[in-house]
Amino acid sequence: MDHQDQEIAINRWFDFRRRAIAQLIETQSYDPSTMASGGKRKRLKVAKNKETYNDIIELKESMKVIAEALREGNAAIREGNEITRERHKHELPPISGEETWNLLEECGCEPNSLPKIYRVVMKDVDILRMIIQCPPKASKTVIMENVFGSSD
């Protein structure tokens, strides 16, 4: 699902929501004949109760439409987030493997730790990007904290 598909899904969700709200507004009505007497009042009360019951049924149906629209919207958002996460996992590192190895050596990392550090850094593009962007004096500390959890 690319950006355009996400936009379509979100627009569809807003359309469902807009229709459900419009349906709710249509079901709301005001009865001006509240002033009546005798048997007419009784008939109006019965009619009003039926009307209220029908309004409640319509309201429940409208709420179901809204709930379904929310579910679809949330599903579309979750799907978009998952796709974004998957793309991020397969993102290429900002520098080549050889450049990464040289950078790790230049930072003063222990030669016997280099293979482990290299594996961790190449698997996580964010850590590599952080190492590249930090000042050279802090690089070794950043590497050790991210790979080993300490600044030894």
Same domain, 124 and 79: no
- Highest mean pLDDT range out of 5-9, 26-30, 57-61, 89-93? 57-61
User: CA–CA separation, 116 vs 123, rounded Å?
Assistant: 11
Domain ranges, residue 142: 97-147
> Does residue 152 form part of some domain?
no
pTM above 0.75, yes or no: no
Same domain, 80 and 136: no
> Considering 41, 56, 89, which residue would you say is the last residue of a domain?
89
Q: CA dihedral defined by 109, 112, 116, 119, rounded to 10 degrees?
A: 80
User: CA–CA separation, 44 vs 42, rounded Å?
Assistant: 5
CA distances 58 to 46, 47, 138, Å, are 18, 16, 64
Same domain, 18 and 77: yes
Q: 122: alpha, beta or left, given left = phi > 0 and alpha = psi -120 to 50?
A: alpha
- Report which of 75, 61, 63, 86 is spatially closest to residue 10, judged by C-alpha positions: 75
pLDDT in tens, 52-90: 888 888 888 888 888 888 888 888 888 888 888 777 666
What would the mean pLDDT of 19-25 be, rounded to a whole number? 76
Same domain, 67 and 133: no
Same domain, 81 and 101: no
> Considering 89, 111, 133, which residue would you say is the last residue of a domain?
89
> Does residue 38 form part of some domain?
yes
Could you give the number of structural domains in the chain?
A: 2
Same domain, 56 and 85: yes
User: CA–CA separation, 13 vs 65, rounded Å?
Assistant: 11
Those residues whose C-beta lies under 8 Å from the C-beta of residue 38, and which sit 6 or more positions away, are none
DSSP 138: G
Q: Would you give the distance in Å from CA 127 to the centre of its chain? A: 24
Looking at residue 35, its pLDDT comes to 54
User: CA–CA separation, 150 vs 144, rounded Å?
Assistant: 6
